[in-house]
Every structure is written in structure tokens, then in C-alpha cells.
């Protein structure tokens, strides 16, 4: 296809950058900062999200009315009021990922939101298009947090672009201007970026998590289900999380059944979370984490990503 569809005019973008809606990281302050810098800021909702938690982050947007909200399919089924709160917030974009039921698409459109979902293979992209999703995120295995680690971004992106007639956002390990240029040259309408924004002072990231990301290289990341197992989150085995490896992930990855039966190990993780101890708490991060050298404001990150 010679002419690729553009990103929605309603987003009023100056730059084709969206921050990924990372649960526990992408709150209202980060979303407002990314939108103010010319991209589209997304508020994330993670495994433990509730309607009340979303309301707290919406209040931090200030007077920014150009924002999106990202949600997880199985969390919405557990917390139906979270979906209601997202609709009532009148976002310009609503993303739901990690599910196969697209009944949410018509409801999102009824409040004027552009619909987005992440896909990990061509079949998923085609299902999303058939369901009427407006924008597809082609997420490679390099991405931080939960995903389906099938193919790299450079392998997946051109095949998704060829398979659908929707705008496609590139995702997975995008952390430099060269990465952005490569994605746009390959035909992406824009980029969906997580880890590069996770160390920003506007993010919900803790001081310990920021320090761990700044010190890490891309080769320090691993795929694990250990944290979800320890916290009792019902993530499918097909959706492991990419994190910065540490003592806990090394000890328990591949031993999830034993971890589920070990109350002391689960308590250790929760205590470490309260203490911001990243020797025990694995930090979500993609393979582009090595490009993070400091905790820079979101506007500086956007500027660096779009630098020609």
C-alpha cells in the first residue's frame, strides 16, 4: 500500500509519540507532560488498578484535556467500575490489550475515543482490524513489562503494516532518535514508547526504580512470571514480563509452582516493594533501557527522540 493512514487528527499531535500506558508508571503527571510536549500522553492502569486509583491520576492532569487511557482486559473484567471511570473521563484515546473480546470498541467510540490495542503477531492485528479497532500497536519482544515475546520489532512491524489498513504504532525497545527514524521509515504512523519515559521525574516510578534503570543495560533484562506469581496476578503464561534481572527473578524464574507455595518468598517481595528494594523487586524495563542515562523531564525525552 503506497499511502499509509495517518494518526487521528483529533489527537492534535505535533510529534507522533505516545507514551505507553504503563501501570504504576504512567500516571496523570507523565501523561500531561507528554501531551504538553506535542505527543499524546497515556495514563496506565496495571494489574491492581481500580476506578478510585484512576480518579487520582486523572486529577493530576491539571487542565490538560488531550490524553488517553490504557487498560488491561482481565483487570476490567474484575473491576467493571474502572471501565466506567475511563469512559466518563472523556479521553481522546482508549486502549485495551491482552484480551480477545473486542466488545469494548463500540463503547469507547460512543464517548468519542479513538480505540487502540497492542498486537504481537499478524493474526492479532487482523482480528483487531476486523473488530473495528482504529489504531494498532505492533509490539516487539524487546518491550518492557508484559507482552508476547514472539518476534522483534523490526520483524513484526512490516508484516503488521502490510496486513492492515489502519495506522500502526511501532513498539518495543524504542529509546533513541535512530529507533524512531527507523520505525517511521518502515511505515509506522508513530511510536509507542514505555521505558524511555519510565525514569522521568513526572512518572510514578520510585527513586530505587529510576536508579536501577539508569544503571542497567539492555542485556540485563529477562522474561519472567515470578512477580505475577508472587503477587497472585492471573496473567496468562503467554504474557511474561520483561524486567531488569535481580536476585528474586534469578531465583524464581522457571520455578513458579514452588514460588506459589512459598509464603515467605511472597512476603519477601511485598516487604521489598514497601522498602523500594530493587535487589528483590524486579523493575519492568525493555531492551532499550541502556539508553537511559539520567532522570530527564518528559519534554526533554520527547525532544531527544524527535531530534533529526
Check which CATH number belongs to the domain holding 107 and give it: 3.20.20.70
Residue 159 lies in a domain: yes
**Are 164 and 33 within one domain?**
yes
Residue 1 scores a pLDDT above 80: no
Residue 2 lies in a domain: no
pLDDT tens-digit series, residues 5-24? 999 999 999 999 999 999 99
Share of the chain above pLDDT 90, in %: 98
Domain range for 267 is 207-284
Q: Total domain count for the chain? A: 2
Grid coordinates in use for 236? Answer: 496468562
Residue 8 lies in a domain: no
Residue 254 scores a pLDDT above 80: yes
Assign 64 a pLDDT band (cuts: 50, 70, 90): very high
C-alpha to C-alpha distance for 118 and 144, rounded to whole angstroms: 13
**Are 47 and 128 within one domain?**
yes
Residue 2 scores a pLDDT above 70: no
Residue 6 lies in a domain: no
163, 194 Cβ separation under 8 angstroms: no
Residue 19 lies in a domain: yes
Mark 96-134 as b/e (b = at least 16 C-beta within 10 Å).
bbbbeebebbeebeeeebbbbbbbbbbebbeebbebebb
Q: What is the pLDDT of residue 4?
A: 76
Q: What is the pLDDT of residue 67?
A: 98
**Are 183 and 215 within one domain?**
no
Residue 38 lies in a domain: yes
pLDDT tens-digit series, residues 115-164? 999 999 999 999 999 999 999 999 999 999 999 999 999 999 999 999 99
Would you give the end-to-end CA distance of the chain in angstroms? Answer: 26
**Are 199 and 219 within one domain?**
no
**Nearest to 156, CA basis, from 109, 118, 101:** 118
**Are 134 and 222 within one domain?**
no
Q: What is the pLDDT of residue 85?
A: 98
**Are 197 and 212 within one domain?**
no
**Are 183 and 229 within one domain?**
no
**Are 127 and 197 within one domain?**
yes
Q: What is the pLDDT of residue 56?
A: 98
Backbone region of residue 227 per phi and psi (left: phi > 0; alpha: psi in -120 to 50; beta: other values): alpha
Assign 206 a pLDDT band (cuts: 50, 70, 90): very high
Q: What phi and psi values does residue 126 have, to the nearest 5 degrees?
A: -70, -40
Residue 293 scores a pLDDT above 80: yes
Mean pLDDT of 26-50: 98
- What's the per-residue H, E or C state across the chain? CCCCCCCCHHHCCCCCEEECCCCCCCCHHHHHHHHHCCCEEEEECCCCCCHHHHHHHHHCCCCCCCEEEEEEHHHHHHCHHHHHHHHHCCCCEEEEECCCCCCHHHHHHHCCCEEEEEECCHHHHHHHHHCCCCEEEEECCCCCEECCCCCCHHHHHHHHHHHCCCCEEEECCCCCHHHHHHHHHCCCCEEEECHHHHCCCCCCCCHHHHHHHHHCCHHHEEEECHHHHHHCCCCCCCCCEEEECCHHHHHHCCCHHHHHCCHHHHHHHHHHHHHCCCCCCCEECCCCHHHCCCCCCHHHHHHHHCCC
**Are 128 and 172 within one domain?**
yes
C-alpha to C-alpha distance for 174 and 152, rounded to whole angstroms: 11
Residue 289 lies in a domain: no
C-alpha to C-alpha distance for 124 and 118, rounded to whole angstroms: 9
**Are 147 and 223 within one domain?**
no
pLDDT tens-digit series, residues 77-129? 999 999 999 999 999 999 999 999 999 999 999 999 999 999 999 999 999 99
pLDDT tens-digit series, residues 228-244? 999 999 999 999 999 99
**Are 172 and 64 within one domain?**
yes
Residue 3 scores a pLDDT above 70: no
**Are 145 and 273 within one domain?**
no
Residue 4 lies in a domain: no
110, 255 Cβ separation under 8 angstroms: no
Amino acid at each position: 500500500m503506497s499511502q499509509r493512514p495517518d494518526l487521528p487528527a483529533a489527537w492534535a499531535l505535533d510529534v507522533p509519540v505516545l507514551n505507553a500506558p504503563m501501570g504504576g508508571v504512567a500516571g496523570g503527571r507523565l501523561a500531561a507532560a507528554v501531551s504538553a510536549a506535542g505527543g499524546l500522553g497515556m495514563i496506565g492502569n496495571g494489574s491492581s488498578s481500580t476506578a478510585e486509583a484512576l480518579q487520582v491520576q486523572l486529577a493530576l492532569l491539571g487542565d490538560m484535556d488531550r490524553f488517553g487511557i490504557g487498560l488491561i482486559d482481565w483487570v476490567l473484567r474484575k473491576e467493571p467500575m474502572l471501565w466506567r471511570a475511563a469512559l466518563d473521563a472523556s479521553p481522546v484515546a482508549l486502549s485495551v490489550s491482552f484480551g480477545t473480546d473486542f466488545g469494548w470498541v463500540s463503547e469507547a467510540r460512543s464517548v468519542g475515543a479513538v480505540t487502540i490495542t497492542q498486537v504481537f503477531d499478524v493474526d492479532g492485528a487482523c482480528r483487531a482490524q476486523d473488530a473495528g479497532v482504529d489504531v494498532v500497536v505492533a509490539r516487539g519482544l524487546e518491550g518492557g513489562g508484559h507482552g508476547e515475546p514472539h518476534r522483534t520489532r523490526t520483524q513484526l512491524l512490516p508484516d503488521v503494516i502490510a496486513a492492515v489498513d489502519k495506522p500502526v504504532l511501532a513498539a518495543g525497545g524504542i529509546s533513541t532518535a535512530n529507533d524512531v527514524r527507523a520505525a517511521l521509515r518502515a511505515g509506522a504512523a508513530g511510536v509507542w514508547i514505555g521505558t524511555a519515559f519510565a525514569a522521568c521525574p513526572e512518572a510514578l516510578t520510585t527513586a530505587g526504580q529510576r536508579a536501577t534503570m539508569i544503571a542497567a543495560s539492555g542485556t540485563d533484562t529477562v522474561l519472567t512470571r515470578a512477580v505475577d506469581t508472587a503477587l497472585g496476578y492471573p496473567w496468562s503464561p503467554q504474557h511474561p514480563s520483561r524486567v531488569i534481572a535481580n536476585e528474586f527473578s534469578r531465583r524464581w524464574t522457571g520455578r513458579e509452582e514452588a514460588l506459589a507455595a512459598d509464603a515467605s518468598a511472597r512476603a519477601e517481595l511485598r516487604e521489598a516493594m514497601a522498602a523500594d528494594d530493587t535487589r528483590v523487586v524486579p523493575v519492568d524495563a525493555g531492551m532499550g533501557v541502556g539508553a537511559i542515562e539520567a532522570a530527564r523531564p518528559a519534554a526533554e525525552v520527547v525532544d531527544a527522540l524527535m531530534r533529526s
